[in-house]
Structure 1
Amino acid sequence: MEAMIQQIPEISKNDSSCGFKETQWMKIDKSEAPNKYIEYVDEITKQDQIIAHTRYSTRQLRLQPGNKVIDVGCGAGKDLSRLESMVESNGQVCGIDLSREMVECAKSRMNHLPNVTVFCANASMIPIESNYFDASRCERLLQHIPEPAEVVSEMVRITRSGGRIVITDVDWWSSTISVPRSVDRINSIIIKDVVFNQHPSIGLNLRGLMSKNTNIEEIEIFAQCMYTDSLTVADDLLWLGERGKMAVQQGLITEEEYNQWRETIEEMEENGSFVFTINIFTVSGTINKKQ
């Protein structure tokens, strides 16, 4: 399988930012505790709603035994074994990620599967020959990428005509909480105005992004509203508490306003009225490379 991989350029410290401010997910290898990101991905993967959505997105790849598929931004490899089971031992699975920590974790988890290859690469410059794969996918990656259209173009380039492309991402701006009017303004700022990734509404705009690429046809969209009535889940997996703290750090609200908001939603959980929702989208299509 290594023959498919072109010479992999060394990823420089500034390679991922392209003039944009780096987000936490673009600086995993520089962080003091990169394992916390791996643990986060592992935990969110266990959620029933995420499991169901991922099953749908992988079905949309329409993989057959013997196919070749790539997971762009594979992280710690959460979906690589599932893809391998779909293409079977005579197929090929490739995973790439910008984080060396994530890649090493994925390699260790996949070392029992000889037809799975994982390596470090930039999704905007994938070092793989054109038209190699039967299908390509990425999940919750584009929200962190400075130029999502570049990643889509690369995924199209390395996928053969007639192959499939499937992209999943979140619309963070669709987050809703059943808050009273007394903290509605504070809540709106926390949900809409906090900056914590490059493209918080990318999920809602996936179809438009993919439709601009003239090599993608038969585009389908699937949307799911995820929800929880657990404040702990909203904090740990959907970054609710973290976004509230970021709003203070970014000067959008005061510490007092944050405390008022936090106390309110904690009381709501105690009395059983807390509900948090967020929308996730999968957009899929067929590659048709025009001459």
Structure 2
Amino acid sequence: MTISAVTSSASTSYLDAVAATDAARSYKQDLITALAIAPGHRVLDVGCGPGTDLAALAEAAGPAGAVLGIDQDPRMVATAQARMADRPTVLVRHADAHRLPFEDHSIDRARADRVLMHVADPAAVLAEIHRVLRAGGLLTLAEPDWDTLAVDHTDLAVSRAFTRYVAERVNRNQAIGRQLPRLAVHAGYTLRAVRNEAVVVTDFQTAETILGLRRNTERAVAAGYLTEQDAAAWLGHLTADTFFATVSFVTVVAESALALV
């Protein structure tokens, strides 16, 4: 699942490119460590995409464990299955995060990485993960808060028009980052750790990889957020002058509590 899911190849390329950035490698490793996966654990990756993190999870769970990846995009599922074909402990399935195809309390560890910003009902997804997690099982969540996106530009109104387009049109749940702790507690989890680390980008090409600046500027024009003249001046400035962009990125480590009877 991406902020630029247009075609399967574009989506896979986008996820692979973002996962290869230093910032992504760092937070992904931190959250895998926080899951404290032990040999033999059953680990669920909700919204696994093209299988970006399945191999690392499989290594942690060992040959006696199992890694279960689900995604609602059949093209992503096919890509992940092909990539994990030589790993017998990894099973990738087409499924909706709102209706997980697993028994109650059958999962030891779970993760959802940049998934809840896209789903129809984040609270329902968190409740469904809680249903399948065993008591004491751990969940990690990671989401940008697109409503905090800021890009430096000489014309603040133009910059705000672009960031408003990204928040309102590119992602379904624009403020999900700040909502994670509350939604997790309401779903029955105990918070173990909450972090907000601002992503800071100081070169245009990295921002192009993460934010799709050119294509989203074109779409902002088509959607009426920017004029063509403003868009041209906007991109001209971003590519020629000192670049700066930042957005909040929230991670949560939570523990599943016993279900209320």
Q: Normalising by the residue count of structure 1, what TM-score does the alignment of the two structures yield? A: 0.84
**8 Å contact from structure 2 (residues 4, 212) kept in 1:** no
Determine whether 1:188 maps to 2:157.
no
Which of 221, 227, 232 is the matching residue for 2:194? 221
**8 Å contact from structure 1 (residues 211, 219) kept in 2:** no
CA distance in 1, matches of 2:52, 2:232: 36
Q: Deviations over 1:185-222 (max 9, x none)?
A: 01011112441110122112211211222x21134211
Shift in Å, 1:25 = 5.2
Partner of 1:259: 232
Taking the TM superposition and a 5 Å limit, the aligned residue runs for 1:80-99 are 80-99=54-73
**8 Å contact from structure 2 (residues 2, 15) kept in 1:** no
Partner of 1:230: 203
CA change 1:42–1:138 in 2 (3 A) is same
Letter in 2 for 1:255: E
Which of 91, 100, 103 is the matching residue for 2:74? 100
Determine whether 1:277 maps to 2:220.
no
Which of 12, 17, 20 is the matching residue for 1:46? 20
Shift in Å, 1:238 = 1.8
Taking the TM superposition and a 5 Å limit, the aligned residue runs for 1:104-253 are 104-180=78-154, 183-194=155-166, 195-213=169-187, 215-253=188-226
Letter in 2 for 1:220: A
Identity of aligned residues (%): 26
**8 Å contact from structure 1 (residues 171, 278) kept in 2:** yes
Shift in Å, 1:228 = 2.1
Shift in Å, 1:267 = 2.0
Q: Normalising by the residue count of structure 2, what TM-score does the alignment of the two structures yield? A: 0.93
Taking the TM superposition and a 5 Å limit, the aligned residue runs for 1:50-69 are 50-69=24-43
Size of the alignment, in residue pairs?
258
- Secondary structure in 1 aligned to 2:39? coil
- Secondary structure in 2 aligned to 1:142? coil
Shift in Å, 1:227 = 2.0
Please list every run of 5 or more consecutive structure 1 residues that lacks an aligned counterpart in the other structure.
Answer: 1-23
CA distance in 1, matches of 2:62, 2:79: 22
Shift in Å, 1:240 = 2.6
Shift in Å, 1:68 = 0.7
- Secondary structure in 2 aligned to 1:157? helix
CA change 1:119–1:206 in 2 (3 A) is same
Shift in Å, 1:27 = 10
Q: Deviations over 1:94-130 (max 9, x none)?
A: 0000111111111111111111100100011111111
- Secondary structure in 2 aligned to 1:43? helix
Letter in 1 for 2:48: C
